[in-house]
Amino acid sequence: MSHIKGEIRNQSTAFPVTLEEMIDENNPVRVIDLFIDGLDMDKLQFIATGNKKEGRPAYEPKILLKLYLYGYLNRIRTSRLLERECERNLEVIWLLGNLKPCFRTIAGFRSDNKAALNNLFKLFVQMLRSWTLWHHKTAMEL
């Protein structure tokens, strides 16, 4: 009896696959990406942390916003779970450009920007409603 077999994991291919090719053009993460990239961060009053001269540079706040919005829409709430998604989830890897913030960075950004994050989520839902992509039933489930 024959079986369907997967690819050999370490075999190279003639045509390399990019992150861009792994995410369908209709994938919702593309909406998140466009939405966050179009925001005026000063107007939304997000606090950028880690702008010191010494030490490791901080993540751009838009990167962490993309992660939080993805988590909000997919019911991934904790910083440790969001950190794990950065390692294993192709959508998140694409969305963040393969950046992998640690859970402390993720949690710190959330605690520094609670009100701004709530406003961001409301703004995103309003945008989806204006496109008729968000329904009251969906909002109640979240």
Q: How far apart are CA 96 and CA 89, in angstroms?
A: 11
Token pair for residue 113? 């920007």
pLDDT at 11: 76
Q: 72 is in which domain, residue-wise?
A: 19-48+56-141
Asked if the structure places residue 2 within a domain, the reply is no
pTM of the predicted protein model: 0.80
Asked if the structure places residue 71 within a domain, the reply is yes
**Helix, strand, coil tally for the chain in percent (to 5):** 55, 0, 45
Q: How far apart are CA 17 and CA 51, in angstroms?
A: 35
For 42-100, how does the pLDDT look when each residue is reduced to its tens digit (9 = 90+)?
888 887 665 566 777 888 899 999 999 999 999 999 999 999 999 999 999 999 999 99
Asked if the structure places residue 109 within a domain, the reply is yes
Asked if the structure places residue 7 within a domain, the reply is no
* Segment 105-128 mean pLDDT: 89
Q: How far apart are CA 116 and CA 19, in angstroms?
A: 30
Q: In Å, how far from its chain's centre is CA 21?
A: 18
* Segment 119-133 mean pLDDT: 83
How many structural domains compose the chain? 1
Token pair for residue 93? 């890897």
